Chain A
Amino acid sequence: MTQPSHATHLVADVLDKQIVDAKKVKLGKVDGLVIVLREGKPPRVAFVESGTAVVARRLGRWCERLVLALNRRLGVRAEPRYRIPWSKVTEVDIEVTVDVDEHPLLAWEEWLREHIVGRIPFAK
């Protein structure tokens, strides 16, 4: 079977790649890809996932549970997994460009700025 010229290697070309928005602001990494199985049809790539819980799940269920517990304790994000519909992905190159308006992926950075960096003397 020959590969179509426009085929995408989901592991080599998409997974673990940097996610950026249209302004090239870094939003995180592609930590996961969700495919939907369909009866009689090829599986469809549905979402790009990002977040510490997604990465932790790759290491094992115990790691995912630990990360979820930490997230609840620290209260950084309402949801430790962020899903971007594949329809919002506009380009797959060295980076994965997405068309999103909200940036909850930057919640950890904002938390660190508010709770740690902002309290360093003369930081402001």
Chain B
Amino acid sequence: MNVELLIGRKVFDESGRALGRIEEVLAIEQGSDLVVSEFHVGAGGLAERLSAYRLGHVRKPKRIPWQELDLSDPEKPVWRKR
């Protein structure tokens, strides 16, 4: 799966409501591997990616842990809250 193809994809919750688009993917080192830890969704995620922190009215990104984002259909990621 390609990260650049995930960016901009709309994320839906289990009821079908759109939460926002994937704007950033956070990764951390785990041993010798780099693994995905979170997906940042929504306008806050875009502001974070553009370093537009001075836009004070922009919300913080919605952070979805890797285990809560169902990517079985990359075209339609689903947030399955645990």
Which residue numbers of A lie inside 8 Å of B, CB to CB? Answer: 1, 3-4, 6-12, 15, 31-37, 41-45, 49, 54, 57-58, 86-87
**Cβ 8 A contact of A87, one of B25, B32, B35:** B32
Task: Let me know if B14 is at the binding interface, CB within 8 A.
Answer: no
Most A CB contacts (10 A, CB to CB) among B4, B36, B48 go to B4
What size tier do the contact residues of chain B reach? Answer: 20 to 34
Main secondary structure of the interface of B (DSSP, over half): strand
Which residue numbers of B lie inside 8 Å of A, CB to CB? Answer: 1-5, 7, 23-30, 32-38, 48-49, 51, 63, 65-67, 71
Complex-state Cα separation, A7 to B49, whole angstroms: 14
Q: What are the 5 A-B residue pairs with the smallest beta carbon separation, nearest first?
A: A42-B35, A33-B3, A45-B34, A43-B36, A10-B25
Q: Take A43-B66, A45-B36 as given contacts and tell me if A35 and B3 are in contact as well, using a CB distance cutoff of 8 Å.
A: yes
- Shortest C-beta distance, A69 to chain B (Å), equals 21
Question: Which chain B residues border A1 with CB–CB below 8 Å?
Answer: 38, 63, 65
> Which chain A residue shows the least CB distance to B51?
A12
Q: Take A42-B67, A44-B35 as given contacts and tell me if A8 and B2 are in contact as well, using a CB distance cutoff of 8 Å.
A: no
Are A35 and B26 interface neighbours, CB within 8 A? no
Additional 15 contacts, C-beta under 8 A, given A7-B37, A11-B25: A1-B38, A7-B26, A7-B28, A10-B24, A10-B27, A11-B3, A31-B4, A32-B4, A34-B1, A43-B35, A44-B33, A44-B36, A45-B33, A58-B5, A86-B34
**Cβ 8 A contact of A35, one of B28, B36, B51, B63:** B36
> Which chain A residue shows the least CB distance to B24?
A11
Are B34 and A36 interface neighbours, CB within 8 A? no
